[in-house]
Amino acid sequence: MPNLTLKKRRPVWYNLSPLALPLPGWASIFHRISGVVLFFGLFWLLYLLDTSLQSPESFERYKAAVSHPLAKLVLLGIIWAYLHHIFAGIRYLMHDLHVGDQLPAARKSAGAVFIVSLALTAIIGVAIW
Amino acid sequence: MVNRVLVGAHYGLGSWMIQRFSALVMIIYTVIVLVAVAVQPPRDHATWKALFSQGWMRAATLLFFVSLLLHAWVGMRDVFMDYAKPTAVRVMLELAVILALVACGGWAVQILWRA
């Protein structure tokens, strides 16, 4: 009979920082955050679509509303959320098809999601300012 | 071997499918709108309105909104399941989201068919 009380001394590792996420973890949590941002952004975007389509007068109101710097900033935040959510989402759809779901590729694509969505947001930001 | 089905009616699979199919519809719609706007940049109210008063665009936008509402429901429900542990709180939040999304759906239909 082996001695079952004999315990191997294993190293104990406590993760003291739950925020020390690997890159795919950051892509994941921001996918969730951007999703919630888009849920709340939906109401304002519907309001904008409504005023932009209703009449020529309301179209002018829409233009005035989105030309305010604060509105542009919020819009840019929503645009970033949309871009990050869509690119991270496409990444997940690829993973479902087992495309790029190995760790090295998944790390690279997670980084690419951040770079592409932030770069596009910056370009759009420059364009609308 | 004991074969027992321990879990219920595959509700999870349904949500999983909804999330992915609605995502595909929204990705395709996003590309369509980007192409439409690139081909004929809407300069004023008349051209912007003309884009949305075409039959196919109305249908595509309606499909987009249906997908969006389903997608947002599954997503928000998942978030509540993770963070809103007390059942009463979670059900209230879920109810609020359902009401808000159904209202948004009605609003979207109004916007589209008035345009």
Element containing residue B105 per DSSP (H, E): helix B87-114
Nearest CB among A43, A56, A93 relative to B20 is that of: A93
Query: A96, A112, A125, A94: which is closest to A26 by C-alpha?
Result: A112
Domain residues of chain B, as ranges? 11-114
Distance, CA of A49 to CA of B5 (rounded, Å): 48
Domain of residue A97: give its range.
Answer: 23-128
Look up the CATH number of domain B11-114.
1.20.1300.10
Q: Is residue A72 part of a domain?
A: yes
- Check CB contact under 8 Å for B107 and A42: no
- Which secondary-structure segment (H or E) carries B83? helix B55-83
Question: Nearest CA to CA, how far is A92 from chain B (Å)?
Answer: 9
In tens digits, chain B (115 residues) has pLDDT values of 567 666 666 778 899 999 999 999 999 999 999 999 999 999 899 999 999 999 999 999 999 999 999 999 999 999 999 999 999 999 999 999 999 999 999 999 999 998 7
CB-nearest to B104 from A35, A36, A46 is A46
Which DSSP state fits A11? P
Residue B12 pLDDT: 84
Orientation of helix A103-128 relative to helix A23-54, angle to 10°: 30
User: Tokens 């936008």 correspond to what residue?
Assistant: B61
Q: How many structural domains comprise chain A? A: 1
| Residue A16 is assigned to a structural domain of this protein | no
Residue A51 located in a structural domain: yes
Do B111 and A50 count as a contact with CB atoms less than 8 A apart?
Answer: yes
- CA-to-CA separations, A79 to B36, B85, B92, in angstroms, rounded: 19, 31, 29
Chain B residues inside the 8 Å CB shell of A96: 20
A68 CA: distance to closest CA in chain B (Å): 19
Q: What is the ipTM of this complex?
A: 0.90
Q: Does A90 touch chain B (CB under 8 A)?
A: yes
Per-position DSSP letters for B12-71, written without gaps between them = HHHHHHHHHHHHHHHHHHHHHHHHHHHHS---SHHHHHHHHTSHHHHHHHHHHHHHHHHH
